[in-house]
Chains A and B, each alone.
Chain A
Amino acid sequence: MSGDTSGDTSGESGHPGGDVNVDLSVEVRVDAGRTAAGSGRAAARRALRTVGRYTFLSAVLGFFALPLLWLASAPFDAAPSITAALPEFTLENFRALLDDPRALRSLGNSTVLAAGTGALVVTLAALAAYALSRVRLPGRDALLYVLLLLSSIVTGTAAMVPLYNLAFELNLIDSQLGVILVLSGGLLPSAVFILKDFMDGTPRSYEESARVFGASPLQVVRHVVVPVVRPGLATIAVWSVAQVWGNFLIPFLLLRSPDKAPAAVVMYTFYTEGGQPNLALIATFSLLYSLPVVAMFLFVSARYGFRFHGGIKR
């Protein structure tokens, strides 16, 4: 700022919380000229700021909408081209989906992979998170953090070669079970980490009273704990299903026969295989393939509110 900064107000004391903290010593430099001048300039500046803000937000809207336009227009265009344009409306393109045997089959494959991985991750993560939350096993916290760091680093690309070898040795190349196991191994650490937070937050008195009435530990988990942490389980289920649904690399790496390929891989072959790409097929397939994740996302955000929980905190 210019040289006429005079009134440094520091260490304001009006904070209601009262927790004294170095961060609180707010240093605000006041432009003395501005406080003295009339409100005219301030109003002009505010107006300018408002214009700037709306211009920026419009640009952002344009930037994010532009690539999506094609997905909204091309599936319904009688003559789909690669350019997004107002469509000459038709549903004829969806016939292309039925004509290509790979399209619907790949969505079925994706469903198998996503459901299998989701079920495995939710079950194993819930058991592990519950035990880790209630019983102090030695080295628990260090283990959790190491696994979390490792999973964000190793998942996918860096461990490509040994994952391929491992699947080869275990006879899991071209097996959907292999993909499910590899994906679950990668997703489990984060799932356990997030679920443990949910478990920590549930009251223990319920479990104790169930014990008093003679329930076994497994019964306690099934009839008392699971209903209480259901939002957490739903979050993990949706999260892992979405991860698998969009995952390209692992099935691309491990599956060989075309009739086992999930939608992510088939979509890629649709536009990279030689010859003229079938735009009607690509457009409708993209839309159909995207809808489940969008629907799931809307469902979760309406039901539980989409926000960060667990894992991401200071």
Chain B
Amino acid sequence: MPTTSRPDGAPRGRPAGDAAGLGRGRAAAFVAPAVLLIAGFLLFPALWTLYLGLTDYRLTGLAAADPQLVGLENFERALGDDRFGDSLWLTLQFVVGSAVLGQAVLGFTLAWLLRDRRGPLRRLVEALVLLAWILPSSVVAFLWIALLDRDGGTLNALLGTPGTGWLLEYPMASIIVFNIWRGAAFSMMLYAAALGSVPPSELETARLAGASPLQQLRDVVFPRIRGHVLTNLLLISLWTFNDFTPFLLTAGGPDGRTEIMPVFVYQAALSGGELGFGAALSVLMLLVNLAIALVYVRLLRRRKDAVA
């Protein structure tokens, strides 16, 4: 293919970079279908959630045909409801335990231990960790149900603790461990990429100066990868907060002891049929999500200020 001698990005008479001669009109036409779909099935439902939260809309009955505006009643009810507080508290335990502490720490440790290794051990560890991540969620849910089963579960057979119904006796701990297993791969890969950005010469210098691995981590590695750490924590916190997979393991039970927010919304809105109340819960969930995002954005900005 012939090439022109003109350097990239400096076409005459058109906006910079518009090499195909799209122009604004055609560019807008290219963007339009995607924007329409996003607007229809992402933005609009989000806004609709706000509106529905203000109504007494129900799945069936009188309020289904003619929902009335009830103002902030749903929100007052949610905030005064013990189940909401409990659910939020459970979600917090789930996010902190399985994402912030579990996935991030395990993922980083694996990335750190495997960083300059080649060969079968590394490939085996990576393959298994990734497998846990890519398998369909309803399959892994059943694998864990089988593993933790009271009567024939592999775990009981291994530990010699027959009759322990892990999902019934330790439901929260079970879904936390499950989610660590499920999601550690993402953190491992992200930190492996991040560790690649730490210049080996700095680590070498630190090592020659006699720094222990922990000191190397604290003084050389962490200052370099702080941005990656924050990105990682933001993403896995949001994902875990909105994760519906624990429903497949425990369906929120026993006695609502694993009724994290997504499960609570589902139970209230679609099992209970109170769509308006469920929407109000969704809005509160969105607000918590937003708060999580803002905390991380602020931390990121502080980091940039500190460096600049």
Which secondary structure dominates where chain A touches chain B?
helix
Interchain nearest-CB distance for B228 vs A (Å)? 7
Tell whether A166 is near chain B: CB-to-CB under 8 Å.
Answer: yes
Q: Which residues of A contact B153 (CB under 8 A)?
A: 82-83
Tell whether A229 is near chain B: CB-to-CB under 8 Å.
Answer: no
Tell whether A184 is near chain B: CB-to-CB under 8 Å.
Answer: yes
* Selected contact of A161 from candidates B11, B146, B279, CB within 8 Å: B279
Interface members, chain B 15-39 (any A CB < 8 Å): 15-24, 26-28, 30-31, 33-35, 37-38
Q: Are A153 and B286 in contact (CB under 8 A)?
A: yes
The CA-CA distance from A60 to B189 in the complex, in Å, is 16
Tell whether B223 is near chain A: CB-to-CB under 8 Å.
Answer: yes
Task: Report B220-242 CB contacts with A as 1/0, cut-off 8 Å.
Answer: 10011001100100010011001
How many inter-chain residue pairs (CB < 8 Å) link A and B? Answer: 347
The CA-CA distance from A7 to B206 in the complex, in Å, is 12
Tell whether A246 is near chain B: CB-to-CB under 8 Å.
Answer: yes
Interface residue range, chain B: 35 or more
Q: Are A290 and B135 in contact (CB under 8 A)?
A: yes
Q: Which residues of B contact A154 (CB under 8 A)?
A: 42, 45-46, 286
Q: Are A30 and B44 in contact (CB under 8 A)?
A: no
Known: A152-B238, A267-B142. A83 touches B18 (CB 8 A): no
Interface, chain B (partner A; CB < 8 A): 1-4, 6, 8-9, 11, 15-24, 26-28, 30-31, 33-35, 37-38, 40-46, 48-49, 52, 106, 109-110, 113, 121, 124-125, 128-132, 134-147, 149, 151-155, 157-158, 181, 189-190, 193, 199, 201-202, 205-206, 209-213, 215-216, 219-220, 223-224, 227-228, 231, 235, 238-239, 242-245, 248, 261-262, 265-266, 269-270, 275, 278-279, 282, 285-286, 289-290, 293, 306-307
Could you list 30 examples of A-B contacts with CB < 8 Å? Answer: A22-B307, A26-B202, A27-B219, A28-B209, A30-B210, A56-B109, A60-B106, A66-B147, A67-B181, A81-B152, A84-B154, A131-B28, A132-B31, A137-B24, A152-B235, A152-B242, A153-B286, A156-B262, A157-B261, A158-B46, A158-B265, A161-B265, A163-B41, A181-B41, A185-B37, A188-B38, A208-B4, A246-B135, A248-B248, A308-B189
- Cβ-closest 6 pairs across A and B: A185-B41, A131-B30, A204-B19, A157-B262, A135-B27, A162-B48
Interface, chain A (partner B; CB < 8 A): 7, 9, 12, 14-17, 21-24, 26-31, 34-35, 49, 53, 56-57, 60-61, 63-71, 81-84, 120, 124-125, 127-128, 130-137, 147, 149-166, 181-182, 184-186, 188-189, 192, 203-212, 217, 220-221, 224-225, 242, 245-246, 248-249, 253, 263-265, 267-268, 270-271, 282, 286, 289-290, 293-294, 297, 306-308, 312, 314
